[in-house]
């Protein structure tokens, strides 16, 4: 083979993020692949490459600059990106995902560097199957899809919402070892109602009002049909759809393919796991809890539905279980006498006099847990938190709205206004809090504790469907891994340093549901945990010398 014939292969290796090793290509690999002269002469170890990345990353002065830096690394060297992410997850998850991904979505057209994922729009009608088939990897296991209409608590971000599927799938790999080559981000660009985007000259999406009704449904249907044909058995994760569409799409596809909605089911599992863990501090029982939600959309309803299902599993009648869950929306307490309620609110519209405000609802109902899923910043103000502390020795306060700028309260506010008695968790991370000489480590009620393990369990067991029973099993499995040391610090979730152990434990619980419910054609392996662990990707460079 001549040098001229070898060099193009070397250049191809350097330009392919799935194959590139950068300065870590060995002398033997450089000989074989024709890389001499294309790289500095000294061979770096992966440890040295990691140190170089971290040194440059930590020089960046803002989270969005760090996001851009990591995104560029991912686009040129996937293995090194995953190594850096996995070894520094507590530091980097807030950059790769919430809260920084929110800013990344808001500015996506301005910071765009490299293509990631597939974009589909009305212009692709009739050819979506062909577009999917053009993706370079065919053994796809997980697809995260959004239409960008309800990105975190930021609202309609249109095609800029691609940041969410990209971030979620990075965590599928980092947390549960789903190989990057098996991950596919998709954004369905159905237009936007965001005036700022429609007038932004650098916006990369279709500058039209959103598709609605039958046109919208038929576009999503073509995608789902194509996914089932091109990537059979791939998980279809619905992400950040508007409430009405989220419930409708989940209902339409959950029994046709392995589909789930992370905002409904993933949020539910991690929140219920947090409640189960919190009871070890409050010394209550699940049956005795009264939950009050601020926000009556998909996240809140999903949490309530799973909570109710677990109470029913324990023997409580469904009507009584639903009576343990109450909602406050923009019009006040959701009650049976209110007219025009959305369908997903009606099961939780109980007979009770109206309350106009959250504080009035707390005084009326005396909930044991207050759960914020509203995106209403500072909604858990001093009087609200003081009322929770007045009615509970250890009030459970979950401020779950993302990103951090949308949280209903901060960790410091929750601890200070309850004199350190609150059992607190948030959707995005907050720093440790010192109060009266005691150190509190706020728990992060992050879906990353749930969806990667569920994905590993579904793929590893060959499940045909993703069921609510799987999410109940995931919630129980997550709560089991909270240690006494975690609780002593006020943390009701395991440390993120244990996330791969957590994901494997959840995957095993999910797989057990698969086999028990006969949702697979596979036989249960004798050593199930080992079977699942063997499928987990490790960010280790391959040897190209042989």
Q: Which residues are known to be catalytic? A: 97, 168
Q: Rounded distance, CA 338 to CA 279, Å?
A: 33
Token output for 370: 């207050």
- Taking CA 334 as the corner, what is the angle to CA 333 and CA 337, rounded to the nearest 5 degrees? 110
How far CA 139 is from CA of 115, 181, 233, 500, in Å, comes to: 20, 8, 10, 22
Query: How far apart are alpha carbons 303 and 300 in whole angstroms?
Result: 5
- Tokens 């044909």 sit on residue: 229
Within 10 A of 394 (CB to CB), how many other CB atoms are there?
A: 18
Name residues whose C-beta falls within 8 Å of residue 111's C-beta, 6 or more positions apart in sequence: 64, 67, 68, 104
The two three-digit tokens of residue 445, written as one number: 């009620």
Phi, psi of 325 (to 5 degrees): -120, 130
Please, which residues bridge with residue 151 across strands?
Answer: 155
> What span, in angstroms and rounded, lies between the C-alpha atoms of 520 and 460?
10
Q: Say how far apart CA 409 and CA 401 lie, in whole Å.
A: 9
Sign of CA dihedral 391, 397, 401, 404: positive
CA distance 482 to 463: 27
Q: What whole-number distance in Å separates Cα of residue 509 and Cα of residue 475?
A: 10
How many Å apart are CA 483 and CA 491, to the nearest integer?
9
Q: Tell me how far apart the alpha carbons of residues 452 and 458 are, in angstroms, rounded to a whole number.
A: 10
In degrees and rounded to multiples of 5, residue 435 shows phi and psi of -140, 120
Measure the N-to-C terminal CA separation of the chain; round to a whole number of Å: 16
| 434: β partners | 439
Whose CA is closest to 373, among 291, 476, 478? 291
């Amino acid at each position: 083979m001549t040098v001229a014939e070898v060099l193009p292969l070397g250049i191809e290796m350097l330009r392919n993020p799935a194959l590139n090793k950068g300065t870590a290509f060995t002398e033997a690999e450089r000989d074989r692949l024709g890389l001499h002269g294309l790289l500095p002469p000294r061979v770096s170890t992966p440890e040295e490459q990691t140190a170089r990345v971290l040194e440059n990353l930590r020089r960046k002065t803002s989270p969005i600059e760090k996001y851009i830096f990591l995104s560029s690394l991912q686009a040129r060297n996937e293995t090194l990106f995953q190594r850096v992410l996995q070894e520094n997850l507590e530091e980097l998850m807030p950059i790769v995902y919430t809260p920084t991904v929110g800013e990344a979505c808001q500015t996506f057209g301005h910071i765009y560097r490299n293509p990631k994922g597939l974009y589909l729009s009305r212009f692709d009608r009739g050819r979506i199957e062909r577009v999917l088939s053009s993706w370079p990897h065919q053994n796809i296991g997980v697809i995260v899809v959004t239409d960008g209409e309800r990105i975190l608590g930021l609202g309609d971000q249109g095609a800029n919402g691609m940041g969410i599927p990209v971030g979620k799938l990075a965590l599928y790999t980092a947390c549960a070892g789903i190989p990057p080559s098996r991950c596919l981000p998709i954004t369905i660009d159905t237009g936007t109602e965001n005036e700022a985007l429609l007038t932004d000259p650098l916006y990369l999406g279709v500058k039209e009002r959103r598709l609605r009704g039958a046109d919208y449904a038929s576009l999503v249907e073509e995608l789902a049909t194509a996914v089932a044909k091109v990537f059979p058995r791939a998980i279809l994760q619905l992400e950040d759809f508007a409430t009405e569409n989220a419930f409708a799409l989940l209902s339409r596809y959950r029994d046709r393919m392995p589909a789930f909605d992370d905002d409904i089911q993933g949020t539910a599992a991690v929140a219920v796991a947090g409640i189960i863990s919190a009871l070890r501090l409050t010394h209550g029982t699940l049956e005795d809890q009264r939950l009050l939600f601020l926000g009556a959309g998909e996240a809140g309803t999903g949490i309530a539905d799973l909570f109710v299902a677990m109470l029913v599993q324990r023997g409580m009648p469904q009507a009584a279980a639903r009576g343990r869950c109450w909602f406050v929306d923009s019009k006040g307490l959701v009650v049976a006498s209110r007219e025009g309620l959305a369908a997903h609110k009606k099961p939780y519209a109980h007979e009770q006099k109206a309350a106009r405000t959250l504080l009035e609802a707390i005084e009326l109902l005396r909930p044991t847990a207050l759960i914020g899923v509203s995106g209403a910043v500072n909604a858990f103000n001093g009087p609200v938190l003081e009322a929770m502390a007045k009615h509970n020795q250890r009030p459970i306060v979950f401020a779950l709205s993302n990103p951090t700028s949308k949280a209903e309260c901060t960790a410091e506010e929750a601890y200070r206004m309850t004199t350190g008695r609150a059992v607190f968790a948030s959707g995005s991370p907050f720093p440790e809090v010192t109060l009266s000489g005691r150190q509190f480590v706020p728990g992060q009620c992050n879906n990353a504790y749930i969806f990667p393990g569920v994905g590993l369990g579904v793929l590893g067991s060959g499940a045909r469907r993703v069921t609510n029973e799987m999410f109940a099993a995931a919630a129980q499995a997550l709560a089991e891994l909270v240690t006494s040391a975690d609780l002593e610090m006020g943390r009701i979730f395991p440390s993120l340093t244990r996330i791969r152990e957590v994901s494997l434990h959840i995957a095993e619980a999910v797989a057990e549901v698969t086999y028990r419910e006969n949702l697979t054609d596979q036989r249960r392996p004798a050593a199930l945990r080992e079977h699942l662990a063997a499928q987990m990707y490790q960010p280790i460079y391959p040897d190209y010398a042989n």
